[in-house]
Homo-oligomer: A and B are copies of this chain.
Amino acid sequence: MERALIEAASAAARGEIPVGAVVTDADGAILAACGNEVEARSDPTAHAEILALRAAAARRGGKFLPGCTLTVTLEPCPLCAAAISLFRIDRLMFGAYDPKSGGIEHGPRVLAHPTCHHRPDIVGGVAERECAELITGFFKNLRNPANSAGR
């Protein structure tokens, strides 16, 4: 989660919503580490998880990621929840819960339905406070008029 937090902080510094994601293999080696790039790519699907999953699969030269873990600072949204299943990740570890836009423990709970063809092991709330503070700090900063003059 340490590396995912670094990616999230780096995303914040670029003006992106601070979410970071890391894919590790069965030995714990990092296959890919990405931050959110929605603004940079002008693509609302360029979430940290999607970029990390795609990069990890490309690095392994396969379509799926069996034996791998995705670690992400925020509860994945429904898009990323579905991608996690499609890439056949073994384990999902996430930090802060996201009652407004999360898709794992909230909203459509994408991985909890019988039509979900691959469901990873899930651990939520890892380093929760630190992960949540990154997000709340980012939006608090955005709402501060002193910081919005140049936007």
Contact = CB atoms under 8 A, between A and B. Distances in A.
Interface of A: 38, 42-45, 50, 53-54, 57-58, 61-64, 77-79, 81-83, 86-87, 99-103, 106-110, 112-117
Contact of A108 (B58, B63, B64, B78): B78
B64 A54 contact: no
Contacts of A43: 54, 57, 63
A98 to B, nearest CB: 9
A97 to B, nearest CB: 12
Nearest to A61: B42
Nearest to A43: B54
Please provide the 4 A-B residue pairs with the shortest distance between their CB atoms, ordered closest to farther: A79-B82, A107-B115, A108-B108, A44-B86
Contacts of A62: 42
Contacts of A83: 44-45, 79
B117 A113 contact: no
Contact of A82 (B58, B87, B103, B116): B103
A106 B61 CA distance: 32
Contacts of A116: 78, 107-108
Nearest to A106: B115
Contacts of A50: 45
21 contacts: A38-B63, A42-B57, A42-B58, A42-B62, A43-B54, A44-B57, A44-B63, A45-B86, A45-B87, A78-B78, A78-B110, A78-B116, A79-B79, A79-B86, A101-B117, A103-B108, A106-B115, A107-B113, A107-B114, A108-B110, A108-B112
